[in-house]
């Protein structure tokens, strides 16, 4: 396999891998239906400030093996009596096609550290169950438990209590995590979250698909980050047994009634990169939200970059963080 310990895009913004060294292409499906996953470096949480951030793991559901990794800018702001100067709370769902990776994966850990300082915000990144051992909707159930933590656990967490503003919570996900954030957000409309209020959802390059190929999908046979073969394999491992890519978990635009969009928070940000195989699907999804839903939808999908480039190209990450800052701060003075 390729060396991912030091994986980084070059100065031109080229992907850090080729199709042959791509992590998804290294997933081995075993005869018993489980998979052997490629090794990716993991890093522990640390309450010793690194990159201006401290982090720690908070158990969520011991029986499912889930937890939240919290990130707090350090030095953190003073704990004011009013919430106006406190930090928003971003509940984050990582990518990996529902099959691989973790909040502790080196590039997702670094991404959340950078996000916490750049927005700034308290970031809570979810460790969720992976397919195919736990096919969808298992990851959605774990995401729902994380949303419930905003009500049941966050108010008593020392970092959130001292520095977080639970009236400004946001759900965010990237790739398969963007898919998870969408389905988690649909459930928030009827939830009593107590002191927590989900103000919006941020969907970065959300992972959707369909039986019929879009042009960007059809042209991704040799894509370095999400080649078509890997894309199809991930869906076959993640969807419920017997489901095809027009299942609602994969293709909500085709399979779901638009009335479900009433459950979304009032504001939605959809972001993506021009060279991503998912870009056509993203645009279709964003139009659906705009045309059939009631939420305010902001679309920023004109950034030059490959799938997941924000994990490896700091300049592209900063473009994403700038969009997040603008979205999260809008309405603060309302």
Active site residues: 175, 276, 307
Rounded CA gap, 165 and 45, in Å?
Answer: 22
Helical packing angle, 176-186 and 138-152, nearest 10° = 60
Closest CA to 7 of 257, 251, 309: 309
Structure tokens at 38: 């490629």
Write the DSSP symbol of residue 131: T
The CB-based long-range contact list for 156-162 (8 Å cut-off, 24+ gap) reads: 157/58, 157/70, 159/56, 159/70, 159/72, 159/76, 159/122, 160/70, 160/89, 160/122, 162/76, 162/79
Rounded CA gap, 268 and 247, in Å?
Answer: 23
């Amino acid at each position: 396999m390729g060396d991912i310990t030091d994986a980084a895009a070059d100065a031109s913004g080229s992907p850090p891998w080729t199709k042959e060294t791509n992590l998804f292409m290294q997933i081995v499906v075993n005869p018993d239906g489980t998979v052997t996953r490629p090794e990716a470096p993991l890093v522990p949480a640390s309450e010793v400030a690194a990159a201006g951030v401290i982090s720690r793991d908070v158990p969520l559901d011991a029986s499912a093996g889930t937890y939240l990794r919290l990130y707090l800018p350090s030095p953190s702001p003073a704990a004011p009596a009013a919430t106006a100067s406190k930090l928003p709370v971003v509940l984050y769902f990582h990518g990996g096609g529902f099959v691989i990776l973790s909040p502790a994966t080196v590039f997702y850990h670094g991404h959340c550290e950078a996000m916490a300082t750049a927005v700034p915000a308290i970031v809570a990144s979810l460790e969720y169950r992976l397919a195919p051992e736990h096919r969808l909707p298992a990851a959605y159930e774990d995401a729902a438990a994380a949303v419930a933590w905003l009500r049941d656990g966050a108010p008593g967490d020392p970092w959130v209590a001292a520095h977080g503003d639970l009236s400004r919570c946001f759900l965010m996900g990237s790739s398969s995590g963007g898919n998870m954030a969408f389905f988690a957000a649909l459930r928030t409309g009827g939830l009593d979250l107590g002191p927590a209020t989900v103000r919006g959802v941020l969907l970065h390059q959300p992972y959707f698909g369909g039986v019929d190929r879009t042009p960007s999908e059809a042209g991704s046979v040799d894509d370095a980050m999400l080649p078509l073969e890997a894309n199809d394999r991930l869906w076959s491992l993640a969807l419920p047994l017997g489901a095809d890519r027009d299942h609602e978990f994969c293709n909500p635009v085709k399979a779901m009634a638009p009335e479900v969009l009433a459950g979304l928070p009032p504001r939605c940000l959809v972001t993506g990169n021009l060279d991503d195989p998912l870009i056509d699907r993203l645009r279709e999804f964003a139009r659906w939200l705009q045309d059939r839903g009631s939420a305010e939808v902001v679309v920023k999908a004109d950034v030059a970059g490959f799938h997941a480039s924000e994990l490896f190209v700091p300049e592209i990450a900063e473009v994403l963080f700038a969009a997040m800052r603008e979205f999260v701060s809008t309405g603060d003075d309302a």
